[in-house]
Amino acid sequence: RGRHVAQTALVRLRRELGLPELSPAHRLDRLTAGVLLFTTRRELRGAYQTMFARGTVRKTYLARAAVNPNVVLPRIVRSRIVKRRGHLQAVSEPGEPNAETLIEPSPARYPPGDGLYRLTPRTGRTHQLRVHMAALGLAIVGDPLYPQVIDVAADDFTAPLRLLAHCLEFDDPVHGYRRRFVSRRAV
């Protein structure tokens, strides 16, 4: 599904920009909005994709979710997340953790009961942020999968997932200097 967004964005941008070599350097879940890094030259693609594979990119997300006074933040959530073929949801299972997320409250205010959270994943498992938030009782607003599956048409955007890939920071593997890309979108 993460590939679906990249491919959809990829096809659209290749067509609109006339860049046949355009390729995504990483993936986002289909319902996640925000910063997505593309490369324009085939010979440089691997260097950028390797940064993501090695976990050297600092990724920051913003999410809207209910406020739960019983949840102490900031906190690091670690778990073993498994996504099985044919199942919509990823699940946390007992065992050695393979997913880690720093979850922090953000001072922004929303309607009563809603809060803004800054999520910094240190790993990149499928649905990791959504699984970790739901496990804390902080299901992300508009999430059709967590904590339970809700039947929503694929083309229904009336209640979007309030999860935004807000910022990417990394040392450019080609030019050597620090790069920072920030989304201007609101959650």
Active centre residues (catalytic): 29
List CB contacts of 75: < 8 A, sequence separation 6 or more: 102, 103, 136
- End-to-end CA separation in angstroms for the chain: 21
Whether residue 64 contacts residue 166, with contact meaning beta carbons closer than 8 Å, is answered with no
The one-letter code for the residue type at 10 is: L
Taking the C-alpha atoms of residue 122 and residue 158, their distance in angstroms, rounded to an integer, is: 31
Taking the C-alpha atoms of residue 133 and residue 91, their distance in angstroms, rounded to an integer, is: 12
Q: Please name which of 63, 92, 69, 66 lies closest in space to residue 79, comparing C-alpha atoms.
A: 92
Check whether the bond before 160 is cis (ω within 30° of 0).
no
Which burial class, exposed, middle or buried, applies to 74 when counting CB atoms under 10 A from its CB (0-12, 13-18, 19+)? exposed
- Give per-residue burial for 79-113: e unless 16+ CB within 10 Å, then b: bebbeeeeeebbebeeeeeebbbbbeebeeeeeee
